[in-house]
């Protein structure tokens, strides 16, 4: 299986296994777009930050809540 093209996976997992939110989500998404990403996997812990993201960013955001879910979504297995 291959990871989807033009995909960026955001997030960080703490040593205790907690998925941390993405700091400065709007800026990070802009960098992803500038780098050619069309789809971005975003940890659900960052959902509250979506209000800071400009509506003109042309990205498909998909949320995940576990590392396993992120892997499945990156591989296109739902």
| Cβ-based neighbours of 67, under 8 Å, separated by 6 or more | 13, 19
Q: Is the CB of residue 34 less than 8 Å from the CB of residue 57?
A: no
User: What's the pLDDT score for residue 78?
Assistant: 67
Which phi and psi (to 5°) does residue 40 adopt?
Answer: -130, 130
User: What's the pLDDT score for residue 12?
Assistant: 92
The CATH class that applies to domain 7-75 reads alpha beta
Which phi and psi (to 5°) does residue 19 adopt?
Answer: -85, 120
Instruction: Parse the chain into domains and list their residue ranges.
Output: 7-75
pTM: 0.88
User: What's the pLDDT score for residue 58?
Assistant: 87
Question: Tens of pLDDT along 54-69?
Answer: 988 889 999 999 989 9
User: What's the pLDDT score for residue 40?
Assistant: 95
User: What's the pLDDT score for residue 2?
Assistant: 65
Question: Tens of pLDDT along 26-41?
Answer: 999 999 999 999 999 9
Q: Is the CB of residue 43 less than 8 Å from the CB of residue 20?
A: yes
- The CB density around residue 17, as the number of other CB atoms within 10 Å, is 8
Give bridge partners of residue 62 from the DSSP assignment: 41
């Amino acid at each position: 299986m291959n990871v989807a093209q033009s995909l960026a996976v955001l997030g960080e997992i703490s040593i205790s296994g907690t998925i941390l939110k993405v700091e400065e989500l709007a800026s990070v998404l802009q960098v992803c777009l500038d780098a050619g990403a069309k789809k971005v996997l975003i940890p659900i812990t960052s959902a509250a930050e979506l209000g800071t993201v400009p509506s003109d960013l042309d990205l498909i955001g998909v949320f995940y809540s576990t590392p396993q879910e992120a892997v499945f979504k990156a591989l296109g297995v739902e």
